[in-house]
Amino acid sequence: MNFAKLGQFVSLLALSIAPFTPAMAQSQSQAQVQSSGFEAAFDGAFGTEVRAPRDYRPDLDSQLERRIAQLAEGSQGRIGVAALDLSTGQQISVYGDQRFPLASTSKIAIAAAYLEGVDQGRWSLTSEFPLIWPVRSTPLSSVAAPVRQGEYMPAHQLIDLMITRSSNPATDALIAALGGVEPVNDWMRRAGITEFSLDRNIATLVRDNREFDARSYIDPRDSATPEAMVQLLAGIYQGRWLSRSSRAIIIDAMERCRTGRSRIPALMPDGVTVAHKTGTLHRVASDIGILTSPDGRSVAVAIYVTGQNTPQARNSRIASIARAIYDGYAEEASRDFASSGYRSSTAAR
């Protein structure tokens, strides 16, 4: 513990609980400065704990956000949600600025980093790389889990396996082809997405995934915020960073995803297209994706769930939150349409 900082904290604590007198009255700005100093001293002395983020408050911005906050109640583990209507730009966020384990949702960023190289001619979709298989080892016994090479496959097949079936050997093959995880982080930073960090290959992540309890501890390694992942999905969907053909490869594979059918897709109405990618670790389940309604409106959504006692309970939370997001945006779109129709008819008269 830093005792100098502890002393500063104790001093500020004493000021905060001293009897109030008129002579001690301060301006609002001075009080704000003291409050900031108090929080900084607390963090410096005792370490930063998980605190409610800026967007989790009683006066949430919309009825939809309040509904999602109720569904994302985290007494049995942390839950983070972010969503963005790609037509209107309306965003909701409940614990969306807090870090959660990426698990296999990182595979969308890995695919994007590789496909940028294809767009730039550094390699191709037919370039072949070996599958990377883990070799049994004791958890935490080495910085990186030992691996061995398997059969060679073309990159387009590795990407497809990585997204549709969440293949870890295919993912680690592409990470090795990129030269490690840092090129993925670099691609995300250049895309303007900072709340994301990929630190280990999948073999190491899976081997060591019980090191911490994700319900109560935020491991900054291999983590991202739901808001960051929604930003990633929106940028890919809108074609901001990749060619049309590379964008199509990712979206098409996400639409054919075979994992997590009891998550985002589970409660969606008929006619809704779901392009998504799941993530699963010990006591962790997540799903990120694009929901496209029959009328063509699309919503990017990221849901990260920890705890909840059982895998079924985690999946159920994701499914119910995803359906509430879809219904909420659909209701707001209907109200906007009705309102605009009323104004138009009134103006015509």
pLDDT category at 260 given cuts 50, 70, 90 is: very high
The 10s digit of each residue's pLDDT in 62-75 is: 788 999 999 998 88
Q: Verify that 33 and 157 share a domain, yes or no.
A: no
Q: Verify that 76 and 194 share a domain, yes or no.
A: yes
Residues 11-19 have a mean pLDDT of 42
What pLDDT, on a 0 to 100 scale, did the predictor assign at position 202?
A: 98
In terms of Cβ atoms closer than 10 Å to its own Cβ (0-12, 13-18, 19+), residue 225 is buried
Q: Verify that 150 and 181 share a domain, yes or no.
A: yes
Residue 288 has pLDDT above 50, yes or no: yes
- What mean pLDDT value characterizes the chain? 85
The 10s digit of each residue's pLDDT in 138-179 is: 999 999 999 999 999 999 999 999 999 999 999 999 999 999
The CB-side HSE value for 191 (13 A sphere, CA atoms) comes to 28
Q: Verify that 36 and 158 share a domain, yes or no.
A: no
Angstrom distance (rounded) from CA 185 to CA 6? 35
Residue 27 has pLDDT above 50, yes or no: no
Q: Look at residue 287 and tell me if it is in a domain.
A: yes
What pLDDT, on a 0 to 100 scale, did the predictor assign at position 74?
A: 80
Q: Verify that 67 and 41 share a domain, yes or no.
A: no
User: Phi and psi dihedrals of 284, rounded to 5?
Assistant: -135, 135
What number of other Cβ atoms are within 10 A of residue 13's Cβ? 13
pLDDT category at 340 given cuts 50, 70, 90 is: low
User: Could you give the number of structural domains in the chain?
Assistant: 2
Q: Verify that 147 and 290 share a domain, yes or no.
A: yes
Q: Which domain holds residue 221?
A: 63-339
The 10s digit of each residue's pLDDT in 175-221 is: 999 999 999 999 999 999 999 999 999 999 999 999 999 888 889 99
Q: Look at residue 56 and tell me if it is in a domain.
A: no
Angstrom distance (rounded) from CA 225 to CA 327? 23
Q: Verify that 92 and 240 share a domain, yes or no.
A: yes
Q: Look at residue 257 and tell me if it is in a domain.
A: yes
The 10s digit of each residue's pLDDT in 88-141 is: 999 999 999 999 999 999 999 999 999 999 999 999 999 999 999 999 999 999
Q: Verify that 197 and 296 share a domain, yes or no.
A: yes
Closest among 292, 270, 266, 296 to 278, alpha carbons compared: 266
Q: Verify that 32 and 129 share a domain, yes or no.
A: no
Residue 42 has pLDDT above 50, yes or no: no
Q: Verify that 39 and 81 share a domain, yes or no.
A: no
Cα distances (Å, whole numbers) of residue 253 to 158, 164, 267, 272, 331: 11, 6, 21, 16, 29
Return the C-alpha torsion angle 236, 237, 243, 245, nearest 10: 120
Residue 36 has pLDDT above 90, yes or no: no
What pLDDT, on a 0 to 100 scale, did the predictor assign at position 341?
A: 55
Q: Verify that 174 and 304 share a domain, yes or no.
A: yes
Q: Look at residue 317 and tell me if it is in a domain.
A: yes
Q: Look at residue 349 and tell me if it is in a domain.
A: no
Q: Look at residue 347 and tell me if it is in a domain.
A: no
Angstrom distance (rounded) from CA 303 to CA 264? 9
The pTM is what? 0.80
Q: Look at residue 57 and tell me if it is in a domain.
A: no
Q: Report the sign of the C-alpha dihedral through residues 253, 278, 228, 95, in that order.
A: positive
Closest among 87, 122, 129, 114 to 250, alpha carbons compared: 114
CATH number, domain containing residue 317: 3.40.710.10
Quick one: how far is CA 245 from the chain centroid? 25
Q: Verify that 18 and 120 share a domain, yes or no.
A: no
The tokens describing 310, both together, are 């059982």
Residues 6+ apart with CB under 8 A from 150: 130, 131, 132, 133, 169
